[in-house]
A and B are shown apart, each in its own frame.
Chain A
Amino acid sequence: MAAHSRTKGASRVEHLQIPLPKQALALRGFVPAILLFALALFAAATIRAQSPSGVSELAPGSAQLINPDELLSLLQSTTGEKPLVLSVGPSLLYMQAHIPGAEYIGAGSAKPGLDKLRARVKSLRHDQLIILYCGCCPWSHCPNVRPAYNQLAAMGFTHVKVLYIADNFGTDWVDKGYPTIKGQ
């Protein structure tokens, strides 16, 4: 039912009025709350994506990760900035085989490892390219790379990548014939 009418002295338009069911009218009161809730969800997702402590940042395929073949190319390249490669896994893994040039820091899941990581990078420029890796176990179970990454992010390092090792260092690096060295 259209109800356009003009009153004397003032223009007034009455919009189309469609009677709403009682339930819909009752829900109208919740609209602001729903909008606020959606806004809060969006904000939380945005903050999480930007937060250095967000675990989701290290999800497979995310920008913070580097694949083994990409790292190999980077290490073998004769041009460009050489990354600082840091092993944040268990020492017995590093002693058996590690990426040439990688420095041993210690397990990122333990305080001594994080302390050593802080000390190692303390004097570096915050835009230094740093590659962290572990490879102790399947990616989703690795206890070391996330705390180490979060530590560096919290310190303000902006060019930190984590080597994406899907299964373990043996399968995803050594067995592919990529270079390794032994020892401390």
Chain B
Amino acid sequence: MRKIVLSIVVIAIAVAVYEGAQHHSHSKGAPPGAVDSPAATFAVQDLDGKPLSLAGYRGKVVLLNFWATWCTPCRGEIPQFIDYQSKYGPQGLQLIGISMDDDAKPVHDFYQQFKMNYPVAIGSASLAESYGGVLGLPVTFLIGRDGRIAAKYVGAAEIPILQQKIEALLQSK
């Protein structure tokens, strides 16, 4: 009889521990910047001093690109992103650039030189951390119309895959 009671107690404790662990993992949620998690909101100023916030583009598909002027792969992506803004902007795509440069001057110069057609802001460690940390460039997030992160690309994104994803997101309402 004592063995049965002991077994029941052990099983009960094991179930309680398991349930507790499950509850903890659900309440903890996905880490920031994870695919399928809500994109972190932010409100900054663009290079012209105008307010720039993710909430301002609610309902649009947002391509959020962390980049820097000294980053060669980043520079390689910019002309493509400019094209995307022109081509897909009317369908609801909005690009946002977050520069991780230490100094704003080269960013202003680059913006004008490349005739960038979407808003760019100077980033911060806290903004980067709200997206899971930007510990290497470039990093690009695709955010769906529902405000959730649909894709994350670390390093230069493969253009055909990125474009396919953008088009798919634009079609979803």
Q: Are B136 and A92 in contact (CB under 8 A)?
A: no
Q: Is the interface of B mostly helix, strand, loop or mixed?
A: loop
Residues on B with C-beta less than 8 A from A53 are none
Is residue B146 within 8 Å, beta carbon to beta carbon, of the partner chain? no
Is residue B137 within 8 Å, beta carbon to beta carbon, of the partner chain? yes
Known: A90-B101, A167-B155. A96 touches B73 (CB 8 A): no
Known: A92-B102, A109-B70, A141-B71. A169 touches B125 (CB 8 A): no
What class of interface size applies to chain B in its complex with A? 20 to 34
The residue that B135 contacts in the complex, of A141, A143, A168, with Cβ under 8 A, is: A168
Q: Are A169 and B72 in contact (CB under 8 A)?
A: no
Query: Size of chain A's interface in residues, with CB distance under 8 A?
Result: 23
Known: A90-B102, A91-B102. A107 touches B135 (CB 8 A): no
Q: Are B100 and A170 in contact (CB under 8 A)?
A: no
Q: Are B68 and A96 in contact (CB under 8 A)?
A: no
Residues on B with C-beta less than 8 A from A107 are 70, 102
Is residue B129 within 8 Å, beta carbon to beta carbon, of the partner chain? yes
The residue that B129 contacts in the complex, of A96, A138, A169, with Cβ under 8 A, is: A96
- The residue in chain B whose Cβ has the minimal distance to the Cβ of A169 is B135
Q: A137-B71, A141-B72 are known; give 4 further A-B pairs, CB within 8 A.
A: A97-B135, A136-B71, A143-B70, A168-B154
22 sample A-B contacts, Cβ–Cβ < 8 Å, listed by A number? A90-B100, A90-B101, A92-B134, A93-B135, A93-B136, A95-B125, A96-B129, A96-B133, A96-B134, A96-B135, A106-B102, A109-B70, A136-B136, A137-B73, A137-B137, A141-B73, A143-B70, A143-B72, A170-B135, A171-B135, A171-B136, A174-B133
